[in-house]
Chains A and B, each alone.
Chain A
Amino acid sequence: ILNVEQSPQSLHVQEGDSTNFTCSFPSSNFYALHWYRWETAKSPEALFVMTLNGDEKKKGRISATLNTKEGYSYLYIKGSQPEDSATYLCALDSGNTPLVFGKGTRLSVIA
């Protein structure tokens, strides 16, 4: 079973702070890297799908980068707001098999 690691496990920041977290994956088994946003009591929602080394994606104040050679992706949130509080999941797509999810980073933004 492929291992997808996310760090930190949880994070508390003040409103307005910028933050980032990491997703690590085996670089030898790579087709695409997915990021999801998962609010409490809701279902995960897709943020980004990244496929190329050096890829950068942006959606509002959230952006992500990808390094397939060393096997990591960063998710950045600029000027965090309370509504950004959620668990952020990354998932590895390694071929014709289902996504393998990390355990997530739980972000709490304090007003």
Chain B
Amino acid sequence: NAGVTQTPKFQVLKTGQSMTLQCAQDMNHNSMYWYRQDPGMGLRLIYYSASEGTTDKGEVPNGYNVSRLNKREFSLRLESAAPSQTSVYFCASSGTRGYGYTFGSGTRLTVV
């Protein structure tokens, strides 16, 4: 089925470890996004990519880097994980304006 695929679904890291969250979409969408969801905070934008070759910071970019590898793929990297980065991470994509975002199934990350 067409959609947004995120990997992994779950991950436990030790403080200071690094990891990359992968996201791929097969809907030919131009724009892709990374959000984090924390209790009581709603969805907060970390980084986004309006089109292939561009990336921009969102509301909470500190501690993260992103790569728009091609039109399909947008990865999120934690270089040195901290307990404050324990969260559920969602990737999303969007195409033509006026249509909603399509979200991946989320990655539950715990940093101990």
| CB of A21 within 8 Å of the partner chain | no
Residue in contact with B41 in the complex, picked from A1, A32, A96, A103, CB distance below 8 Å: A103
Residue of B33, B40, B100 with most partner-chain A CB within 10 A:
B100
Q: Are B100 and A49 neighbours in the complex by a CB distance under 8 Å?
A: yes
Q: Which residue of B lies closest to A95 (CB)?
A: B97
Per the 8 Å Cβ criterion, residues 19-64 of A in contact with B are 31-32, 34, 36, 42-47, 49, 51
Q: Tally of A-B residue pairs with Cβ under 8 A?
A: 47
CA distance A104 to B58 in the complex (A): 19
Chain A interface category by residue count: 20 to 34
Residues of B with C-beta under 8 A to A84: none
Q: Are A104 and B42 neighbours in the complex by a CB distance under 8 Å?
A: yes
Q: Are B45 and A98 neighbours in the complex by a CB distance under 8 Å?
A: yes
Per the 8 Å Cβ criterion, residues 55-111 of A in contact with B are 89, 93, 96, 98-104
CA distance A49 to B101 in the complex (A): 10
Residues of B with C-beta under 8 A to A32: 97-98
Stretch in B14-22, B62-70, B103-111 with 4+ CB within 8 Å of A:
B103-111
Q: Are A46 and B101 neighbours in the complex by a CB distance under 8 Å?
A: yes
Q: Are A89 and B90 neighbours in the complex by a CB distance under 8 Å?
A: no
Q: Which residues of A contact B (CB under 8 A)?
A: 1, 31-32, 34, 36, 42-47, 49, 51, 89, 93, 96, 98-104
| 3 interchain residue pairs of minimum CB distance | A46-B100, A103-B42, A43-B103
